Chain A
């Protein structure tokens, strides 16, 4: 008897929410990115849980792909961040707000 799926899913949900809240709260761009990673991990956990419960390997395959895409995303994202913030050290996500009404 292993731990029930519900528990895992709850943990995943909590992780996701923490990631989301963190994304909304923090100003530092890199920390925001890390919060995105948290959310992706929560999703991965959910998929794995379902793979076990439904006895379906498809869930784990999907996690594999999510991992790959997350990696690619981080690469590109950090590249962008580097190119933008090369000059400005104190830069935060709040600095670009000219497109306001």
Chain B
């Protein structure tokens, strides 16, 4: 990890603190018994990620991350938790499926080790640079990003907008209760 020593002290401190927040939040998500606690730990992770975005000169994304992810998505999660009442505490001690836990841990450790080994063996970063345009230039990050999205990746942008519409319609359709005259889907079960 000589990489870290080459950086300036501030950068390194920011990085370390943010990383700790991220990882501990993640672990918290996994470990927390109460789903509400999991959601809150998720928010912590997302904030940490946002910090790391800023450190990487992706300011716009950091903002979007906080607004959309932490502000909307996690709130949505909490709504559903409250709505359905699945905030009962899950009994983490009981694992019905045999060997699920040990194997899962084992696989996680191996996967992490593999990724790190793969990276260390060669350069972490390789590939052509600036294929889609430079990310670090005189213009602001937002402008650069906007230019990329609305010109080069316009089609993808339009597609995602349609996707959003579909998602909304789908959610409404899936979750509606039908009027009392016609039996609802779940009443038919």
Note whether A and B form a binding pair: yes
Q: Given that A75-B76, A91-B86, A92-B90 are contacting pairs, would A13 and B116 also be in contact in the complex, using a CB cutoff of 8 Å?
A: yes
* Min distance, Cβ A91 to any Cβ of chain B, angstroms: 7
Specify which of A15, A28, A85 is in contact with B26 (CB 8 Å cutoff).
Answer: A15
Contact across chains for B72 and A71 when beta carbons are under 8 A apart: yes
Contact across chains for B132 and A79 when beta carbons are under 8 A apart: no
Main secondary structure of the interface of B (DSSP, over half): helix
Contact across chains for A3 and B15 when beta carbons are under 8 A apart: yes
Q: How far is the CA of A50 from the CA of B153 in the complex (A)?
A: 18
Specify which of A5, A54, A80 is in contact with B130 (CB 8 Å cutoff).
Answer: A54
Please, which residues of chain B bring their CB within 8 A of the CB of A99?
Answer: none
| CB closest residue in chain A, given B25 | A38
Q: Report A65-88 CB contacts with B as 1/0, cut-off 8 Å.
A: 101111111111011111101110
| Chain B CB within 8 A of A94 CB | yes
Please, which residues of chain B bring their CB within 8 A of the CB of A38?
Answer: 26, 29, 42, 45
Q: How far is the CA of A22 from the CA of B163 in the complex (A)?
A: 28
Interface residues on chain B, number (Cβ under 8 Å): 98
* Min distance, Cβ A101 to any Cβ of chain B, angstroms: 15
State which residues 37-93 of B face A: CB under 8 Å.
Answer: 38-39, 42, 45-46, 49, 52-53, 55-58, 60-61, 64-65, 68-69, 72-73, 76-77, 80-81, 83-86, 88, 90
Q: How far is the CA of A83 from the CA of B176 in the complex (A)?
A: 8
| CB closest residue in chain B, given A52 | B56
Contact across chains for B35 and A37 when beta carbons are under 8 A apart: no
| CB closest residue in chain A, given B165 | A72
Contact across chains for A85 and B175 when beta carbons are under 8 A apart: no
Contact across chains for B119 and A70 when beta carbons are under 8 A apart: no
Q: How far is the CA of A6 from the CA of B39 in the complex (A)?
A: 29
16 A-B residue pairs with Cβ-Cβ distance under 8 Å, sorted by A, are A5-B124, A6-B119, A8-B52, A25-B100, A34-B39, A45-B53, A50-B127, A57-B145, A58-B148, A60-B145, A63-B58, A67-B64, A68-B164, A71-B164, A76-B174, A89-B85
Closest 4 pairs (CB-CB, A-B): A4-B3, A58-B132, A22-B30, A72-B167
Given contacts A30-B81, A61-B152, 17 further A-B contacts (CB under 8 A): A3-B11, A3-B12, A4-B3, A4-B124, A11-B23, A13-B116, A15-B45, A17-B115, A18-B23, A37-B73, A50-B127, A52-B56, A52-B57, A54-B131, A60-B145, A79-B175, A82-B83
